Amino acid sequence: MLENQVGKRYAEALSGNIEDDSQLGNALQSLEAFGEAMKTEKQLLRFFEHPSISTEKKQNVVEELCSRLQTGDKVGNLLVMLNERGKIIFLDKIIEYFARVVDRRLGQTRVQVTSAYSLSDANMDRLQTALNKILDKTILIDTEVDESLIGGVMLRIGDQVADDTIRNRLDILKRTIEKEEVA
């Protein structure tokens, strides 16, 4: 898909322009803040998509937002270039791929933890320690609560999923019973 190609290309370009690994986190936060502004203000996306609005007017808005969000020169330059090339509408994909590049360069892995209830700090620490040992990387944990899981926990690491939830166990049991009834 075009948006994936655009996302990868510009994420890699931004990463290549940032030599100091300690600046990667700030760049990612700046991109995410700009992306959040685009999501929060629905008119912004329509503004940038509208073909009859001049590139100069759009650039003024980009520069103003960058100034307010204090994005820094490298991220600001990227956003100005995206506007000039009409690619700012792909910002979500660029952020997604840039987060992956940052993780790769910093030797860290993002883990999405979904549970039926909020995990205690002690449980989060134990989980993070165990994942650090298993994956041999720094682990960044994003948590989400989904009461429909009933109990247990589901981990998503990249495209791999470990689902040890009661809902999943019940689904497996249901499929097993259905197979036995058919046989």
Number of H helices, E strands in the chain: 8, 4
The side-by-side arrangement of strands in the sheet containing 160-165 is 138-145, 108-115, 152-157, 160-165
pLDDT of residue 181: 78
* Residue 183, pLDDT score: 62
pTM of the model: 0.78
Percent of the chain with pLDDT over 90: 88
Residues 6+ apart with CB under 8 A from 98: 10, 11, 14, 15, 27, 28, 31
Q: What angle, 0 to 180 degrees and rounded to 10, lies between the N-to-C axes of helices 2-17 and 91-106?
A: 50
What pLDDT score was predicted for residue 1?
Answer: 74
Which value, in Å, is the radius of gyration of the alpha carbons in the chain? Answer: 21
CATH class of 2-104: mainly alpha
The residue ranges of the chain whose pLDDT is under 50 are none
Q: Quote the pLDDT of residue 2.
A: 84
Give the domain ranges of the chain.
2-104, 107-182
Q: CB–CB of 149/115 below 8 Å?
A: yes
